Amino acid sequence: MKKKIFIPILIFSVLLLCSIGFFGFQYLNLNGRCQTLETQASQLQQNNSELSSKLTHSNEELEEKEAYLEGQKEYISELSQQIDSISQEQDSEDSNGSDTEEDNDYEDNSTDPYPNLYADSEDEQAENEEKIAYLTFDDGPSSLTPKVLDLLDQYNAKATFFVVCKNNEEYAEYLPEIVKRGHALALHSYSHNYSQIYASQDAFLSDLEKVFDWVVEHTGYTPSLLRFPGGSNNGSSYVVNDIIDELERRGFQYFDWNVSSGDGSSLTTRANIIDNICNNIGNVENPVVLMHDGSGKNATLAALPTVLENLSSAGYEFRSLDKNVPPVHYR
Ligand SMILES: [Zn+2]
């Protein structure tokens, strides 16, 4: 009887032990796998954060390179304008040259029976005319702007500031100062990002509205002048012509330039800036001089006293742009 009971109990016990052993093994096995998975997950997280930081770093580098390229594009655009105005000037000098030769023939005629019968020559007329220079500063305001304003005051010079909002927000206090001191406060763009603003008419207007609102908010002054980043020959002709039509419909006047200081490039020195302006300003009528008062344009600030001094000595008066000034347009 005991034997009959003992055998099932034994079998049951064996089965129970086997089950405990089996499930115990499975539990340990699963536990081990979980730990492995946790280790792998934490490794993946670590890899992920390393990749994220590398990506952020690469993005920053990319943005820096894009900003540098934009600066270089603007500089190249400025240089090509300079070359255009020099060649136009050369053409006009060539045509004037032939007139002068004719004049010389008359002057050589010592038997002129009417020696006093001469009208004012063009040169004499030009000498009697006012010499006006329109100095313009793009890409500010920045920490340099108040120093530029003080220098302009010293020479009783009025100028035009084409402002950019993005990355200059902290210098908004200089916007009312520009207006208060009698200069023209004009728009350049919100972002100064060529690929964004020249993507479409709508993209340009949406960007311009932001810098327009910024100026109005801080000054109560409604700007009516603007300068295209890189000049009006930047971006696709089709898009920019559309933009110009719409800006004119909205009452804005845009200005390019006919004298470049060359300070768009960080390689341009104080001496280069003085030479670029002082040697070329006499070649054009109504000179509109491109300079920059954005961050880092220390060479421009260093050149400005000499530029103001030299041009004042040459008889120039410095005025700000307005809608009545003959526009300088590349298109
Ligand atoms: Zn600019």
Q: What is the pLDDT of residue 105?
A: 59
Q: What is the pLDDT of residue 273?
A: 98
Q: What is the pLDDT of residue 67?
A: 65
Compute the distance between CA of residue 195 and CA of residue 236 in angstroms, rounded to an integer. 10
Domain boundaries, the chain: 90-98+132-318
Low-confidence stretches of the chain (pLDDT < 50) are 97-102
CB 189 within 8 A of CB 254: no
Compute the distance between CA of residue 292 and CA of residue 267 in angstroms, rounded to an integer. 14
Q: What is the pLDDT of residue 37?
A: 73
**How does pLDDT run across 34-51, given as a tens digit for each residue?**
577 787 777 878 877 787
Compute the distance between CA of residue 149 and CA of residue 177 in angstroms, rounded to an integer. 9
Q: What is the pLDDT of residue 10?
A: 76
Distance 249 CA to ligand 1 centre (A): 24
> What's the whole-model pTM score?
0.68
Q: What is the pLDDT of residue 99?
A: 47
Considering the domain 90-98+132-318, what is its CATH architecture? Alpha-Beta Barrel (3.20)
What phi, psi does 193 have (nearest 5°)? -100, 105
The per-residue b/e assignment along 123-133, b for 16 or more CB within 10 angstroms, e otherwise, is: eeeeeeeeeeb
Distance 139 CA to ligand 1 centre (A): 5
Structure tokens given for 207:
């960007």
- The residues facing 318 across adjacent strands are 133
Q: What is the pLDDT of residue 177?
A: 98
Compute the distance between CA of residue 23 and CA of residue 21 in angstroms, rounded to an integer. 6
Distance 66 CA to ligand 1 centre (A): 14
CB 175 within 8 A of CB 141: yes
Tokens 């526009």 belong to residue: 327
In the structure, ligand 1 is a single-atom ion and the residues with CB under 5 Å from it are 138-139, 229
Distance 135 CA to ligand 1 centre (A): 15
Q: What is the pLDDT of residue 98?
A: 47
Distance 153 CA to ligand 1 centre (A): 24
Distance 96 CA to ligand 1 centre (A): 35
